[in-house]
Chain A
Amino acid sequence: MKVFIDPPNSMILFDLVERFGHEPLSSMAVIQEKVDNIEVDMPPMNVTLEDVIKGLKYAGIEVPSGIRGRLALWGPMIDAADAAIVIENPPFSFGCVGCDRSNELTKYLLQRRGIPMLTVAYPNDAEGAKSMVGQIKEFLDNLGKGAKA
């Protein structure tokens, strides 16, 4: 199943989703596609005005352009997701360099979709980390079962 991860650029979440047999939906994939495109217009990430305008589908014109640009990339993934895993309050090292306004909207859009969603607090110690991985594993395992059923 397609699982949207939040933060959308978390390598750890990407790895966990893939390891437990699902397809992660992440920033890395869409950005790689843009960066690899030979017609590079707007390096480094090649987000163009067209993308920002596309983002209007998810956020109105009065919203800052950085949010619309992000949502132009993340929005279609949210639309395509069968499930989502959200880590609350992640630090930089978890793969998150972002705009919190975009993060708030992303979580809202995920909730609105009504897909299975796991929200986990970022762990502060080793025990917490084990528990987080355990919860994610259980969520992903159940997703698989649900799909088969």
Chain B
Amino acid sequence: MTIRIAQLSCGTEYSGIQFEIESAARAVGAKIVYPDVSYDQVQEALDRFGFRPKSQQLQLMIARAVSLADEKYDADAVFITTCFRCAEAALVRNELRRFIQEHTRLPVVTYSFTERLKASQLLTRMEALVTIVTRKELLARERQTGLTAGLDSGSSTTKAVVMQDNKIIGKSWTASGDVVQSATQVLEEAMKQAGVELKDIEAIGTTGYGRFTLGKHFNAKLVQEELTVNSKGAVWLADRQRGEATIIDIGGMDNKAITVRDGVPDNFTMGGICAGASGRFLEMTARRLKVEIGELGDYAVRGDWRNAKMNSYCSVFGIQDLVTNLGAGKVFEDVAAAACRSVAEQVYEQQLQEIDVRHPIIQVGGTSLNKGLVKAVGEVLGEEPIVPKDSQYIGAVGGALLSSGFLGD
């Protein structure tokens, strides 16, 4: 079955990236399609939508979205993309995403691109769209069964959990090095803690950047991108399997903001253009302050970000701000708080504007162990996020939970 992803876009051909978009879709067994509309439909759609952008290609995007909403064109998922930095396109992109979500149940992903976009940057997003369409039953799985393990090979850390009968019985993490070596180490530690051996494990699920390599090495039953796996792990850990929620996962290299309904994601964004809002930036901050990354959050909680403002969209300029603040004699606590505030603000400004935040907010990933960052996210959003126990293990938990779906209970 080929998944049809409807592309609503402006500027992709002239940016020279249309081929990359189609390659990414092909790589995950999907096909990019363009809803057909007639000239008259464009005028009708603009009247109905109530937003009349000057750019004709944006007008065409609106007409295509209306065609999908009216079920005049058959698609399984929607990819909305426009040029980075275009203000008019940013407005249309966001309103179209809302419109599609209000009028259809199609999963949507939005993206703003530059001319440097490569297919590999879109793979995880396209794969997630395909997963949501093809694996609805698996994603609806609420309980883990049997004895399974999950491996999450992230950019900064590698995590493993062993689960049995819906409980975590072993877990371990390490800094990522060699993908297979790191995963083997954490899996062995988790199995030791659980008191089981590899031959006892009935299914393994892998996710994260190293998922394909690990999937092959461990003969995994489930090899899946982190957007769907992490959201599943997050709702399981937070015990929010039913209803709506927003999951914020600030990772080592990129951030994910995912909205879910009954545990199934329906809209997500992944940070892509700026590194200033990532866990890596907090690592750099900790290194410059000469404190352990684990201590950074404690410093931040005691500080006040207002005393050392850091206002940057770039990790390099962010560190420059930090150095300037330290040079001006600001205290570590205030600088640490400012770094956390800067990350929280950027996640809010860059990513959460592309999804409609649903409640509750569940904050997960390694950075959720940083109390200063959680506090900053809560202040920026005006709502304290839920940080479930073992929040850094979402990917591994999601992998163990979903892979148990292949056991046949």
Question: Chain A: residues with CB nearer than 8 A to chain B?
Answer: 41-45, 47-49, 51-53, 62-70, 73, 91-93, 96-101
Contact = CB atoms under 8 A, between A and B. Distances in A.
Interface string B53-91: 111111110000000000000000000000111101100
A66 B116 contact: no
Contact of B115 (A65, A92, A93): A65
Interface stretch (B13-21, B120-128, B302-310): B13-21
Contacts of B53: 100
A90 to B, nearest CB: 9
Given A52-B115, A62-B85, A101-B88, A45 B15 contact: no
Interface in B258-292: none
A40 to B, nearest CB: 9
A92 B113 contact: no
Given A64-B85, A99-B55, A47 B13 contact: yes
12 contacts: A41-B16, A42-B19, A43-B18, A48-B16, A51-B16, A64-B86, A64-B89, A65-B114, A69-B115, A92-B59, A99-B86, A100-B55
B118 to A, nearest CB: 10
Contacts of A64: 11, 15, 83-86, 89
Contacts of B16: 41-42, 47-49, 51-52, 65, 69
A96 B60 CA distance: 11
Given A45-B13, A96-B56, A99-B55, A66 B83 contact: yes
Contacts of A93: 39
Nearest to A72: B14
B361 interface: no
Interface in B225-259: none
A62 B114 CA distance: 11
Interface residues of B, number: 31
B56 A66 contact: no
A66 B11 contact: yes
Of B54, B58, B115, which is in contact with the most chain A CB atoms at under 10 Å from its CB?
A: B115
Contact of A49 (B10, B56, B89, B116): B116
Given A66-B14, A99-B56, 19 more contacts: A43-B19, A45-B14, A49-B16, A49-B115, A52-B16, A62-B85, A64-B11, A65-B11, A65-B15, A65-B113, A66-B15, A68-B15, A68-B115, A69-B15, A70-B14, A92-B39, A97-B56, A99-B14, A100-B56
Contacts of A51: 16
A63 B54 CA distance: 17
Interface of B: 10-20, 39, 42, 53-60, 83-86, 88-89, 113-116
A67 B82 CA distance: 11
Of B15, B18, B39, B113, which is in contact with the most chain A CB atoms at under 10 Å from its CB?
A: B15
Contacts of A52: 14-16, 115
Nearest to A63: B85
Contacts of A62: 85
A53 B116 CA distance: 10
Contacts of A67: 11, 14, 83, 86
A45 B16 CA distance: 8
B47 to A, nearest CB: 14
Contacts of A66: 10-12, 14-15, 83, 86
Contacts of B57: 97-99
Contacts of B10: 66, 99
Instruction: Give the top 7 A-B pairs by smallest Cβ distance, nearest first.
Output: A66-B11, A69-B14, A64-B83, A100-B54, A65-B115, A65-B15, A52-B115
B97 to A, nearest CB: 19
A67 B88 CA distance: 13
Contact of A65 (B55, B58, B59, B84): B84
